[in-house]
Amino acid sequence: MVVVRVLVVEDSRVVADRIADGLRDRGVAVDVAYDGESGLGKATVTSYDVVVLDRDLPKVHGDSVCRQLVAARTDARILMLTAAGAVSDRVDGLNLGADDYLPKPFDFSELVARVEALGRRMPSSPPVLRRADLVVDRARRTANRGGNPVPLARKELAVLEVLLEADGGVVSAEELLERVWDEHADPFTNAVPMTLARLRAKLGQPPVIETVIGSGYCIR
């Protein structure tokens, strides 16, 4: 999956948690908000690839959330959910600035496919990332080095994608934690160094991931 981080804004806790758990099972970092006000707050402080947005929300209506996200020119793509499935409702949602529209009830596999499709439309998110002899095909979720496949777990692949996106720039451990994990991740966790250790071992020699003391990590 191209998508790294998703925000689900849905007032039904059962639906929201089911969507979040399903996406997390696919290696996506997911945050959840149960009303429009908290959804806007989270979208303001965190950069998301996709926002799955219910239209009928308490506190701040989903239409208003959509308008404000579009007006703020965030990079996030918006997938709007609603129980109203008439053509006119879909048109209204798209006219608000949503990138896609999915009526309830929906099949989870379709939601995942739509989230992935929106992720592929992200600006500055090429489907294939390359640096030296290292290549990641984001659509196929594969990595290879020197033409040899490198089997990676979901988090390992996501970390590698973020490092490759930086194009030689340094990425801090905090940024990796924010982009690859979710808001429930313990800021003092050793998940980042442990994932990087496994990633380095799988990528082999010579080492391609460099530790910049006091700053973070990069691929030179």
pLDDT one-digit tens code per residue, 43-61: 988 888 899 999 999 999 9
Residues 6, 51: contact at Cβ < 8 Å? yes
Q: Which of 120, 149, 166 is the last residue of a domain?
A: 120
- My answer on whether 113 and 175 are in the same domain is no
Q: What is the pLDDT of residues 156-186, one digit of tens each?
A: 988 998 899 888 899 998 888 877 877 666 6
pLDDT given at position 212: 92
Residues 178/130, Cβ–Cβ less than 8 Å: no
In this structure, are 137 and 113 located in the same domain? no
Q: In this model, does residue 93 exceed pLDDT 80?
A: no
- Domain shared by 162 and 94, yes or no: no
User: Is there a contact between 108 and 85 (Cβ–Cβ < 8 Å)?
Assistant: no
- Does one domain contain both 63 and 143? no
Among residues 120, 142, 171, the one where a domain terminates is: 120
* Burial degree of 27 (CB within 10 A; 0-12, 13-18, 19+): middle
The pair of three-digit structure tokens given for residue 85, joined into one six-digit string: 């499935």
Residue 190, number of CB atoms within 10 A of its CB: 10
The answer to whether residues 159 and 80 belong to one domain is no
Q: How far apart are CA 185 and CA 162, in angstroms?
A: 17
- Return d(Cα 107, Cα 104) in angstroms, integer: 9
Mean pLDDT over 25-29 rounds to 83
DSSP state for residue 146 in the 8-state scheme? T
Nearest to 40 by CA among 60, 11, 58: 60
Model confidence at 145: pLDDT above 90:
yes
CATH number of the domain bearing residue 159: 1.10.10.10
CATH number at residue 42: 3.40.50.2300
Residue 18 has pLDDT above 90, yes or no: yes
Average predicted confidence (pLDDT) for the chain: 86
Helix ranges (DSSP H) in 32-167: 36-45, 62-71, 87-95, 108-120, 154-165
Average pLDDT over residues 63-70: 92
Same domain, 77 and 163: no
Whether 110 and 42 map to the same domain: the answer is: yes
Domain that holds residue 202: 128-219
Q: Is the pLDDT of residue 35 over 70?
A: yes
Number of domains in the chain: 2
Query: DSSP letter at 115?
Result: H
Position 190 scores a pLDDT of 86
- More confident call, 116 vs 202: 202
